[in-house]
Structure 1
Amino acid sequence: MAMLEVDTMAGTVKISVAEYESLVDTALKFLSLRQALLAGGATTETVDVLISANFPPKPPSEDTSSAREDGSGSVPIPATRSSVPGAHSTKSTNPDQNLPHFGPLIPHTPDDTDEGDMPEEQAEVSRNRPVKRSLTITGLSPVTTLHSVAQVLKGGDIFQMHVRYRDCSAHVSFVDPAAAHSFLRHAQTNDIYVQGKKVTVAWDNNRQSWMRPSLAKCIESLGATRNLVIRYVGPNMTADSIREDLNHIHGLEVVNLFFEDDHAYISLNSIRSALTARNCMLSRLKYKRLRIAFYPDECAQPLPSANVHPSQKLSDIRPAGISLQNRFEVLDESQES
């Protein structure tokens, strides 16, 4: 373990030239990586969220205040402190650990796999893991599209969704667990139809999605949704070209894509897909000068009122010009005279 000398009276720290050069090299690497991310299209807000969400935890055993009292004043070397607001400080004896970890924002998983199925994810403490947010919709038609499923979803932002064509069902996870509870109650008291076919909504007991803290921060601080809007697109940008640019992203599915007032609106199957798609597009030259932002999830609209279909009375259905007089009443002969 590298050592240093602390002079508490003078308020100085003495380290070797090698340790100093190592700290300078670490700081330069951090600045270079940050500038490369910004030059590649990432926004300052995104970089700050990634740093604060992925910074290594502070080991409790290493503390500069625990200097030895035997006169040597030797304590472990602290890591450099990040200047990014909101980033947590840490201490390490390995210079490489001073760099924040910029792994993929969301790990690639198969279409039928949720984040909670991954071993490395399970080791992470998540505030949302114990709650239920995932529903299954069964009884779908074999030709059901994800767009038709999204049209019946209401009450909250969608975290992720996909259709399981092999068993004609769909998996839907809400960002807010309370929204999932509300939609389930609504489906249990009202008939839900997808492409004209009545479906059943229930908890997905096989897979419950939970949210990584880093993704939760993106949603809270950046307002991330599963929907993107490209502002003021040129005439050469078409729906087919945008789809082609997104085809390489694993697990991404375009739910809907349309143009309105020179803006391109892209609805995707998950927030993870939207974050990845936005970063990928901003790294390409054709999107460099365009603003790509999130726009509200249409599934966040309030739940509709209860479907009440009162039976229509036969007395309300009659041809025009027919009198309501009872044809079988006793004939009053006095009226005829």
Structure 2
Amino acid sequence: VSMALAGGVNVMLRPEYPMIMGKGHFLAPDGYCKSFDERANGYARGEGAGVILLKPYAAAMRDGDHVYATIRGTGVNQDGRTDGITMPSGEAQEALIRRVYAQSGVPFSDVRYVEAHGTGTPVGDPIEAGVLGRTIGAGREVDDACLIGSAKSTIGHLEAAAGVAGLIKAALCLDRGAVPPQANLQNPNPKIPFQELGIRLPTSLEPFSQGDEDVYCGVNSFGFGGTNAHVVLQRAEKPRSEEKKDGSAGEQILTLSGRDPKVLTILARSYAQMLSRGRRAALEDICHSARIRRSAHECRLSVVAASAAEMATELEQFAAHGYSDHVIQGKAARRAETRPVFVFTG
């Protein structure tokens, strides 16, 4: 398998479930998640969907994909018997984290941020924080405390999509090189000795240290049925174009298409004008986006050039005269089979 999609979706369609959750005192009366805050009194349900594309790192680098993060390790286990559905097992969480980091070969001290489960419940938050303090935060100095946070304070608890939401947030932190402040935070929960545990909450945008060669983030996600999951993410090296010594990336191929020849001509002139105005984006990036991100219609053309100015000249000549020495045009063969049509009648 060269790539795979993984994700989760949560949509609230019926009233029975929140009614039961409310009677069980799972939900916050004010409708807000207050993760790791002294006001933590339950969680707020949220709707959403999240999907990530999983691909071998070497293939992503080869294809010039935007790599947000690399997965260094994953693991799941089970709480087993506890005192109740609202009582997670700190022992099981700790055993899982120790196993995942041992298998991935990542030292706890290299982890800069943990996207915690952090539902904002008075029982769950202190247990999870204690586990993180006994593992990832253990032995840290005050100025090296590991940042922790939870997306649930921002978007609510997405339940079936909560895990992928946390994973996406952690990947974005690695990609952007910074951790955002924890939302809905007024006063940290006094039942959690953050300094002693070697962890702390971000109260403003906190960039990762530029001197860190390897930056890692952890992601916790726990299920109602007692399933615990943890993922270790690493900051990814960005793919680099194989440039020549003069700074160019060699000859590039721009592919354009339209529903009819007239539209193709208009599109060619539009690209010619954009390319002639200056190099706002690298020529290879423009060609890549046109080839990968645009729909392919019946009437097509390809132009080969080594610079934006040269490509603009070729496209302008094609738009004016219908031909150019380095432009190839044609029509794609029609599909014999019919395609399904989806109709939403509203």
Normalising by the smaller structure, the TM-score range is under 0.3
Q: Please report the TM-score for the alignment, with normalisation by the length of structure 1.
A: 0.21
Greater radius of gyration (CA): 1
Q: Please report the TM-score for the alignment, with normalisation by the length of structure 2.
A: 0.21
